[in-house]
């Protein structure tokens, strides 16, 4: 919510003053007018300064001083210190001239409240103490025995700063609450944007992992079929069977992934489990069908590997084998998986044409790192001379 500007606050204050100050003026003057209308014997003592020649006897200072003080109040927001000094001066004159301490009490309280509200604590404490000293000193000098009235003056002088402090604390509390709500809303929106971005990355990674491997197999097998179809029809047919199997597997896994993505929170979990270590053999068989010689060694208690770790290992292995098909020009691939108390280690090594240059940072390698790092693991990949090597370590590879 936008904070009102200073000019708008001043206009609002003037509008309030147009209604409030006439009421204050009437309230300050009316008691003395009513007192003047009463019989002369109603009070033991009358103030010495009066308007003469009218239908009743009215103390002049008790009308002039409050009106002067009230006339200065519209300027209190722009000049809080000057207005307070002026209305306190009218109060001192009232005490000296009439002996009355409450003649300008209301204007003084209003000016003191305003100053306490718009200045710092040190300023209003000093101003309050100075106001009390200036008003009480003439009372002690002129009427030393008026202790109850003096205590009353001190009370109504202390009241406006106390109220202003309460208002200030309330405003600070509301402003802090509003700021907290604003930050919470911004955090909520930022979190929503982050979740959307993460979900997009996750979907892109899943689709890449599913399609890249199958398309690489299809590409290799279609090349084989095109190469041998004129001289070895049986091998060409076998390559087409592998293409059909790879495309069918890709479509099945893609359909299962899309079903999961479309699910609501109230729907049942997917009946087809996510791929894991149990599917590694099938993945390697698909690679063998492409003409590569694949060796594998799996050791340790694979059955105790958590499902989320098994999925990451499967996807990393899938991407590593896809890169072998696409880039390595290899003849053999060696896959090793070892599970022990320290975690799970995966190594994929081929004998293809290695490169001394850093490998390109494609979606696949980025996906490998994101998956492994999400589980607190490490990735080490690079040229192995000959070939290329991908090594992954995942701690906590066994269920506890």
Collapsing DSSP states into helix, strand and coil, what is residue 30? helix
The structural domains of the chain, with segments of one domain joined by +, span 6-145, 275-400
The C-alpha R_g of the chain, in whole angstroms, comes to 45
Q: What's the longest Cα–Cα distance across the chain?
A: 139
> Does residue 24 contact residue 70 with C-beta atoms inside 8 Å?
yes
Q: Domain 275-400 is of which CATH architecture? A: 2-Layer Sandwich (3.30)
Question: What distance lies between CA 179 and its chain's CA centroid?
Answer: 10
pTM of the model: 0.46
CB 57 within 8 A of CB 35: no
Q: Which of 41-55, 65-79, 290-304, 330-344 has the lowest mean pLDDT?
A: 41-55
For residue range 195-249, what is the model confidence (pLDDT) as tens digits?
Answer: 888 877 777 777 777 777 777 778 777 887 888 888 888 878 887 887 887 787 7
**278-312 as b/e, with b when 16 or more CB fall inside 10 Å?**
ebbeebbebbebbebebeeeeebebeebbeebbbb
Q: Report residue 251: phi and psi, to 5°.
A: -65, -40
Q: 91-147, pLDDT tens digit by residue? A: 888 888 777 777 888 889 889 998 998 888 899 899 999 999 998 888 878 777 778
What mean pLDDT do residues 175-204 have?
Answer: 85
Residue 177 tokens read as 């609450």
Distance CA 349, CA 293 (A): 12
């Amino acid at each position: 919510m936008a904070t009102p500007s200073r000019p708008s606050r001043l206009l609002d204050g003037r509008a309030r003053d147009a209604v409030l100050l006439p009421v204050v003026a009437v309230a300050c003057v009316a008691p003395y007018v009513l007192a003047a209308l009463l019989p002369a014997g109603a009070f033991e003592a009358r103030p010495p300064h009066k308007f003469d020649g009218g239908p009743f006897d009215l103390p002049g200072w008790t009308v002039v001083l409050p009106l002067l003080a009230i006339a200065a109040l519209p300027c209190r927001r722009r000049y809080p210190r000057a207005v307070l000094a002026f209305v306190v001066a009218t109060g001192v004159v009232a005490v000296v001239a009439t002996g009355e301490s409450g003649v300008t009490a209301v204007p003084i309280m209003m000016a003191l409240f305003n100053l306490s509200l718009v200045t710092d604590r040190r300023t209003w404490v000093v101003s309050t103490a100075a106001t009390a000293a200036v008003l009480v000193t003439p009372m002690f000098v002129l009427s030393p025995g008026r202790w109850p009235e003096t205590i009353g003056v001190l009370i109504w002088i202390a009241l406006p700063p106390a109220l202003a402090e309460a208002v200030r604390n309330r405003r600070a509390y509301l402003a802090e609450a509003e700021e907290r709500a604003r930050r919470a809303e911004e955090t909520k929106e930022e979190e929503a944007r982050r979740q959307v971005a993460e979900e997009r990355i996750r979907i892109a990674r899943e689709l890449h992992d599913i399609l890249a491997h199958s398309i690489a197999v299809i590409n290799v097998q279609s090349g084989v079929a095109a190469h041998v179809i004129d001289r070895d029809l049986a091998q060409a047919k076998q390559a087409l069977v592998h293409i059909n199997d790879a495309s069918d597997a890709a479509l099945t896994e893609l359909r299962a992934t899309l079903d999961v993505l479309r699910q609501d929170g109230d729907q049942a979990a997917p009946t087809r489990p996510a791929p894991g270590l149990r599917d590694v053999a099938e993945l390697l068989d698909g690679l063998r069908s492409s003409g590569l010689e694949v060796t594998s060694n799996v050791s340790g208690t694979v059955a105790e590997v958590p499902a989320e770790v098994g999925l990451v290992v499967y996807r990393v292995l899938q991407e590593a084998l896809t890169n072998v098909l696409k880039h390595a020009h290899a003849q053999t691939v060696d896959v090793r998986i070892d599970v022990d108390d320290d975690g799970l280690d995966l190594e994929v090594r081929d004998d293809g044409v290695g490169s001394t240059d850093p490998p390109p940072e494609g979606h696949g390698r980025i996906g490998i790192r994101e998956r492994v790092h999400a589980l607190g693991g490490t990735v080490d990949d690079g040229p192995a001379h000959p070939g290329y090597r991908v090594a992954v370590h995942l701690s906590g590879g066994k269920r506890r």
